[in-house]
Amino acid sequence: MKHLLFFLVTSLGISTGLSAQGVWTLEQCIDHALKQNVSLQQADLNRVNQGISLDRAKSQRLPGVYASASAASSFGQSMNNQGYYEYGNSQSYSGSLSASMPLFSGFQISNTIKAQELNLKASLEDLKKARESLSVTIASAYLQVLFNKELLQLAKDQEALSLQQLDRYQSMAALGKIPEGQVSEIKALYANNQLETSRAQSNLQLSLLDLAQLIELDDWTSFDIVVPAIDVKALALQLTPADEIYNSAVSLKPVVKASELRLEQNERQLKVAEGGYYPSLSVGASYGNGYYGGNMSLADQLSKNARTSLHLSLSVPLFNRFETSNSVKSAKLAIRNAELEVENTKKTLYKEIQQAWFNASTAMDRFKASNESVEQSKIAFRFTEEKFNNARATAYEYDEARTKLASAQSNLLQAKYNYLFSVKILDFYKGEPLAL
SS3 track for 389-418: HCCCCCHHHHHHHHHHHHHHHHHHHHHHHH
More confident residue, 339 or 386: 339
Q: How far is CA 128 from the centre of its chain?
A: 7
**Predicted local confidence at residue 4, as pLDDT:** 38
The DSSP element (H or E) to which 372 belongs, if any, is helix 323-389
More confident residue, 1 or 263: 263
> Residue 159's closest CA among 10, 47, 55, 58?
10
Whole-number Å distance between alpha carbons of 80 and 72: 14
pLDDT digits (tens, 9 = 90+) for 265-299: 999 999 999 999 999 999 999 988 876 665 556 56
Calpha distance 111→117 (Å, rounded) = 10
In this predicted structure, what is the pLDDT of residue 294? 56
Taken in order of first residue, the domains within the chain and their CATH numbers are 26-36+105-141+227-278+317-429 (1.20.1600.10)
Of 182, 158, 154, 160, the residue nearest 170 (C-alpha) = 182
Lowest mean pLDDT among 57-66, 96-105, 295-304, 387-396: 295-304
| Residue 204 near residue 148, CB atoms below 8 Å | yes
CA 11 to chain centre: 38
- Give the residue among 331, 419, 315, 410 at the shortest CA–CA distance from 367: 419
Q: What is the CA radius of gyration of the chain?
A: 40
Burial of 226 (0-12, 13-18, 19+ CB in 10 A): middle
130-148 pLDDT, tens per residue?
Answer: 999 999 999 999 999 999 9
CB atoms within 10 A of CB 245: 22
The secondary element (H helix, E strand) that includes residue 85 is strand 85-87
pTM of this prediction exceeds 0.85: no
Whether residue 17 is predicted with pLDDT greater than 60 in this model: the reply is no
> Which of 11-15, 239-243, 398-402 is most confident?
239-243
> Is the pLDDT reported for residue 96 higher than 90?
no
- Could you give phi then psi for residue 177, rounded to 5 degrees? -80, -30
Helices (H), 238-322: 242-249, 254-274, 298-304
- The DSSP secondary-structure symbol of 234 reads G
CB 77 within 8 A of CB 261: no
Name the most confidently modeled range: 103-107, 115-119, 384-388. 115-119
% of residues, the chain, pLDDT over 70: 86
Contact criterion met (CB below 8 Å) for 133 and 255: no
At residue 417, the pLDDT reads 87
Strand partners, 90: 74
pLDDT of residue 5: 38
Alpha carbon distance 222, 220 (integer Å): 6
CA distances from residue 200 to 144, 155, 206, 432 in whole angstroms, order as listed: 12, 7, 10, 33
Identify any residues that bridge with 262 across adjacent strands, giving them in sequence order.
Answer: none
Residue 231 or 117, more confident: 117
CA distance 400 to 381: 9
Longest alpha-carbon distance in the chain: 138
pLDDT digits (tens, 9 = 90+) for 215-260: 998 888 889 999 888 777 666 567 888 999 999 999 999 999 999 9
Average pLDDT of the residues in 33-58: 92
Length of the chain: 436
Helix (H) or strand (E) run with residue 93 in it: strand 90-104
Residues whose CB is less than 8 angstroms from the CB of residue 240 and which lie 6 or more positions away in sequence, other chains included: 426, 430
Higher-scoring residue by pLDDT: 111, 367: 111
